[in-house]
Chain A
């Protein structure tokens, strides 16, 4: 789950990382009230999860109430690369002496945490990495050792951060590491990490991505989840607890397991079709989940056929079949189902489907993934079967 900048800053603040005083506003009046409270000058920043906000006019400096009014009314509702701005973050403007970069991620190849630090911040770090890789210090951190102040300071020295900023940077790195680990982040990034003329070091931006698997120990994430911007189909899927990604084709896809679901997309593509979605009902899909999955697919008006591809492990074929029968009783499906069912209890499942008395033009069972894909694609492309 990717956080908005303001949420990232609020998250950082909980771990003691210094950020600019500020607050989030949904209206022009709220923006002015915040600006008056924190004091001028302020920066009004569009809250969208897309790069290039500044160039699009989504970040503006304001010196008084009138300027806040002008900028906030321009920015709220602005469309930045397809993202409509619903909120702005209003924060005290900072004087900047220097800009650095810091981030923590998991290096999957090394199976360790990775700290990246550079004295060249405020720009696209991938460009820095391409032009001058030596300008980025990469430090692997063992999850059972962690990061202490001395190691962090050494990283700052290695990154050629000037001596006056080294202690401040090191202190923030230790806190950022704490936020990354205890806060269950996939990514915690500060760009730019700034040095003020006064000598203080401070996070001017916040990019935080949270590991959804850890949500059970972070009840406070509920508030973040509520602000995620999803299309109607994705919203419905989330409510039903399904892994769903909307795409723009006409073959609705339901599969169990992310790998099989991806493979189903690939096979549909290979036989000349386009998937309407990615939908993984997960390991342990039961009748209820199958019904929910069909409801979500049915919500998509582009869908011309529905390809259900199940290979049972934890998932049991009889449960899947019961779900399909139940869903067809409850919902008027807009498109026929083509099913391929193998694995655990597949035989019982096929029997349940055969016994349900569903017309053959509404439900077709095929013996292999490729056969099923061909049939589903043919229907979606308007050919008679």
Chain B
């Protein structure tokens, strides 16, 4: 099994005719993902290498039965694209767009909660999700992900940082460890899906034996995850938190990655997770190594 997306997930790409949408949409299809359509207003009736393009998400869903959407449009257009997908009944939306204003993210999140509680948004500003061997939505290079072994011990990955998500997949592949699903939740201030959402799903997923978590400085998402782990997660975990050496008060790229007033430090996050029984690596390689030890001991 996998969480959120599997071999049956049918995906449409909003922005399929744009540069990013086309490149990654086609790559996702080449990986084996069921990419059934694209949406670009005004370009309905065209196709991108055989993938039909529709004018609206509603049209695309009606024609293809898609249940997931990959939003690859510029920051200005992303909020409306997400809400359009939700209104058309899409249950899982992945938005990779970087640079969406925080006020828009907060409004979209609150609108989804109020009007479309059954819809899950992943992102914005995230690398997407991959259930190796089954479905890849987003920008992850599929070949770095090791598919899970049937009856074996497999790992679920959840990460706040894009490139560190790849690093985590890579570390496990190097060690021959299979991955059920890898979720990149993104580092923005208001992510649609949180660590806690993913941990809850991994805890329920019978195929996932252990969980690797990658966090970073800023905010309190890791501390909230630690509270949740203490109370609800029985599966063994390893983690890495980026930003131990980041100077305080400096904004390091991600809107999310900022240390201020002594809160949200890497040390504080590592301490909370350690207290919840999570093994902490000093770098992504060490976190991978700890996971290999966990898997060997199961």
Q: Is A261 close to B, CB under 8 A?
A: yes
Smallest CB separation, B107 vs chain A (Å): 4
A369 contacts B284, CB within 8 Å? yes
Asked if A144 and B114 sit within 8 Å, CB to CB, the answer is: yes
**Which residues of A (61-108) have their CB < 8 Å from a CB of B?**
106, 108
Q: Which residue of B lies closest to A314 (CB)?
A: B139
Q: Is the CB of B170 within 8 A of A311?
A: yes
Kindly provide the distance from the CB of A366 to the nearest chain B CB, expressed in whole angstroms. 13
Is there an interface contact between A263 and B284, defined as CB atoms closer than 8 Å? Answer: yes
Q: Are A259 and B164 in contact, with the CB atoms below 8 A?
A: yes
Interface segment, one of A165-173, A192-200, A208-216, A376-384 = A208-216
Contact of B252 among A143, A245, A267, A311 (CB under 8 A): A245
Q: Is A18 an interface residue (CB 8 A)?
A: no
Q: Are A258 and B254 neighbours in the complex by a CB distance under 8 Å?
A: yes
Give chain B residues whose Cβ lies under 8 Å from the Cβ of A256.
163
Select which of A268, A313, A369 is within 8 A of B127 by beta carbon: A313
**Chain B residues with Cβ under 8 A from A8's Cβ?**
none
Contact for B217 among A106, A262, A280, A343, CB less than 8 A: A262
Enumerate chain A residues within 8 angstroms of B163, measured Cβ to Cβ: 255-257, 259-260, 311, 313, 343
- B101 close to A257 (CB less than 8 A): no
Question: Judging by beta carbons under 8 Å apart, are A112 and B141 in contact?
Answer: no
Enumerate chain B residues within 8 angstroms of A269, measured Cβ to Cβ: 244-245
* Residue from A258, A268, A282, A311 within 8 A of B257 (CB atoms): A258
Residue A157 lies at the interface, judged by CB distance under 8 Å to chain B: no
Report A240-258 residues with CB < 8 Å from chain B CB: 243, 245, 247, 255-258
B164 touches A260 (CB 8 A): yes
B220 touches A108 (CB 8 A): yes
B190 in the interface, Cβ–Cβ < 8 Å? yes
- Asked if A239 is at the interface of the complex by the 8 Å CB criterion, the answer is no
Beta-carbon contact of B110 and A144 below 8 Å: yes
- Complex interface residues of chain B between 142 and 189 (CB less than 8 A to chain A): 144, 159-164, 166-167, 170, 187, 189
B59 within 8 A of A: no
- B214 interface residue per 8 A CB criterion: yes
Q: List chain A residues, Cβ under 8 A from B98.
A: 282-283
Contacts of B107 in A (CB 8 A): 143-144
Cβ of A260 to closest chain B Cβ, rounded Å: 4
Q: Is B111 close to A, CB under 8 A?
A: yes
Contact flags (1/0) for B98-123 with A, using CB distance below 8 Å? 11111110110111001000000000
Contacts A111-B106, A245-B250 given: A257-B141 contact, CB under 8 Å?
no
Compute how far the CA of A311 lies from the CA of B107 in the bound complex, rounded to whole angstroms.
Answer: 32
Q: Chain A residues near B245 (CB, 8 Å)?
A: 262, 265-266, 268-269, 275
Complexed CA–CA distance, A215 and B127 (Å):
23
Name the distance in Å between B116's Cβ and chain A's nearest Cβ.
12
Q: Is B224 an interface residue (CB 8 A)?
A: yes
Give A344 Cβ to nearest chain B Cβ, in Å. 5
B274-292 vs A, Cβ < 8 Å mask (1 yes, 0 no): 0000000011110000000
A134: CB under 8 A from chain B?
A: no
Cα of A260 to Cα of B140 in the assembled complex, Å: 15
A126 to B263, CA, bound (A): 13
Q: Are B190 and A106 in contact (CB under 8 A)?
A: yes
A326 at the interface (CB under 8 A from B): no
What's the Cα separation between A211 and B75 when bound, in Å? 13
The dominant DSSP class at the B interface is loop
- The reply to whether the CB of A333 lies closer than 8 angstroms to some CB of chain B is no
A113 at the interface (CB under 8 A from B): yes
**Interface check B242, CB cutoff 8 A:** yes
- Please report the C-alpha to C-alpha distance between residue A267 and residue B216 in the assembled complex, in whole angstroms: 14
Bitwise interface map of A from 297 to 320 toward B, beta carbon under 8 Å scored 1, else 0: 000000000000001111000000
By the criterion CB–CB under 8 Å, are A126 and B261 in contact? yes
CA gap between A265 and B111 in the complex, in Å: 38
Residue in B166, B224, B253 whose CB lies within 8 Å of A261: B253
Residues of B within 8 A of A12 (CB): none
Given contacts A216-B75, A262-B257, A267-B283, contact A111 B109 (CB under 8 A): yes
What residues of A have a CB within 8 angstroms of the CB of B242 in the complex? 259-260, 262-263, 266
A295 to chain B, nearest CB (A): 19
> For residue B104, which residues in chain A have a CB less than 8 angstroms away from its CB?
214
- Residue A158 at the chain B interface, CB threshold 8 Å: no
**Interchain nearest-CB distance for B160 vs A (Å):** 7
Does chain A have a CB within 8 A of B41? no
Structural contact, A108 and B189, CB atoms closer than 8 A: yes
17 example contacts (A-B, Cβ-Cβ < 8 A) are as follows: A111-B190, A184-B101, A211-B101, A211-B103, A213-B75, A262-B257, A263-B284, A266-B243, A266-B245, A269-B245, A270-B283, A278-B250, A283-B162, A313-B163, A314-B24, A343-B141, A370-B285
Using CB atoms and an 8 Å cutoff, list the residues of chain B in contact with chain A. Answer: 20, 24, 75-76, 96, 98-104, 106-107, 109-111, 114, 127, 139-141, 144, 159-164, 166-167, 170, 187, 189-190, 214, 216-217, 219-221, 224, 240, 242-247, 250, 252-257, 261, 282-285
| 4 smallest beta-carbon distances between A and B, as pairs | A259-B161, A258-B253, A257-B163, A260-B163
Chain A contact residues, CB within 8 Å of chain B: 106, 108-109, 111-113, 126, 142-144, 181, 184, 186, 211, 213-214, 216-217, 243, 245, 247, 255-263, 265-270, 275, 278, 280, 282-284, 311-314, 342-344, 368-370
Known: A111-B109, A143-B110, A311-B163. 13 other contacts (CB 8 A): A108-B190, A108-B220, A112-B106, A144-B107, A144-B110, A217-B101, A258-B253, A258-B254, A260-B167, A266-B244, A278-B246, A313-B140, A314-B139
